[in-house]
Amino acid sequence: MKKQEYDYLLVGAGLFNAIFAYEAFKDGKKCLVLEKRAHVGGNLHCENIADIIVHKYGPHIFHTKNKSIWEYMKQFCEFSNFVYRPLAFYKDELYNLPFNMNTFYQLWRTKRPKDAIDIISLQRLNLNNPCNFEEQALSLVGADIYNKLIKGYTEKQWGMDAKDLPAFIIKRLPLRFTFDNNYFNDPYQGIPIEGYNEIFNKCFQNSNVILNADFLCNRDIATKAKKVIYTGTIDQYYNYCLGQLEYRSLRFESELLNIPNYQGNAVINYTDRETPYTRILEHKHFEFNNRSDKTVITREYPLKWSIGEEPYYPINTDRNNELYMKYWEKSKEEGNVIFAGRLGAFSYYDMDQTVDRALSLYQQIKLE
């Protein structure tokens, strides 16, 4: 039998496989990495435009409650102290997010928590069993917050009327009765000072990386490795033989402007239904950039996913989850292929969860 050249074939050069590759190298293992894009880093890839670090595929703020994960990631880069404080724009009005006492003051001029609680309590729908997203949201936060800050944004994001979305999408909507605009309730958060590319360059520096390479068009390459870690979509791996899983996609429209400051904040969400994009990013505000006299903004448009589009968000309806489990059962027939990462697991993971799962998987299989 021909000896394999690599211990692991890593399909996809995103965060999961980057961490896996780094850990494997520490144990003297060899990794071959196939990436269908022209760069490593997956959706965390950054570009430098006019001396501004641009998050090419949307904003990514690393945040976690797990101190060990935070300390682990700090070996790859230095993090800024960026705190995510988005704003919501609704029909020429600005509101703070997440929903907190600043938001309630902007809505109703309430100054005390009790006053805001009383208004929300009066507006809430009293429903024991909400039948759809709209009913669920109204039962949680009431009419004003829902109509101005949730309904339009959600319908754009999902491409559906809120009444047609299942209630389970939102089990809760956090309401903060403090004047705190920090979006994440995590003690550790920030953005790599030089962007995310530094992390991937360090993690993959000892791997053989092949870019512009589609594994599904060259599956025979799997014979070069003892085991395959596949982070693409599981249904595509099986040629959709059991049916297609559903995803949402995105389109990004970036623009370099000859002004130093466009909107004064890193992210502003557009929560009305009529505006076609969900948010505008101004990248220099992610990095406290005063170097450039220009600015780069990106408008983010949600898209219906179809084969050939990039699958950004799994749609975890009952039907999709049941179909995914059928694919998962089928995957157990694979002798040396492990499906991992956000797409392989058909789940939305935050970055700290992705790192934790990559570390756990490597520890689980490294002695096999």
Catalytic status, residue 172: yes
Helix (H, G, I), strand (E, B) or coil at 149: helix
Catalytic status, residue 214: no
Closest CA to 53 of 216, 276, 292: 292
Residues in contact with 162: Cβ distance below 8 Å, sequence separation at least 6, in sequence order:
132, 133, 134, 137, 151, 154, 155
**Residue linked to tokens 């991937």:** 200
Catalytic residue among 5, 71, 253, 348: 348
Cα angle value 106/112/116 (rounded, 5°): 60
Distance, CA of 167 to CA of 246 (rounded, Å) = 18
Distance, CA of 34 to CA of 31 (rounded, Å) = 10
Catalytic status, residue 300: yes
Distance, CA of 250 to CA of 311 (rounded, Å) = 8
Q: Exposed e or buried b for every residue in 226-241, given b needs 16+ CB within 10 A?
A: bbbbbbbbbbebeeee
Catalytic residue among 85, 176, 342, 357: 176
Catalytic status, residue 219: no
Chain centroid to CA 97: how far?
A: 18
Helix (H, G, I), strand (E, B) or coil at 143: helix
Catalytic residue among 134, 196, 279, 352: 279
**3-class DSSP string for 293-344:** CCEEEEEEEEEECCECECCCEECCCHHHHHHHHHHHHHHCCCCCEEECHHHH
DSSP 174-193: ----SS---S---SEEE-BT
Helix (H, G, I), strand (E, B) or coil at 168: helix
Catalytic residue among 92, 109, 172, 333: 172
Catalytic residue among 300, 312, 327, 342: 300
Closest CA to 61 of 84, 81, 45: 84
Catalytic residue among 37, 124, 248, 299: 248
- From edge to edge, which strands make up the β-sheet containing 31-34? 208-210, 31-34, 6-11, 225-230, 337-339
Inter-CA distances, 92 with 271, 276, 299, Å:
11, 15, 17
Catalytic status, residue 357: no
Helix (H, G, I), strand (E, B) or coil at 282: strand
Catalytic status, residue 279: yes
Question: Catalytic positions, please?
Answer: 172, 176, 248, 279, 300, 348, 350
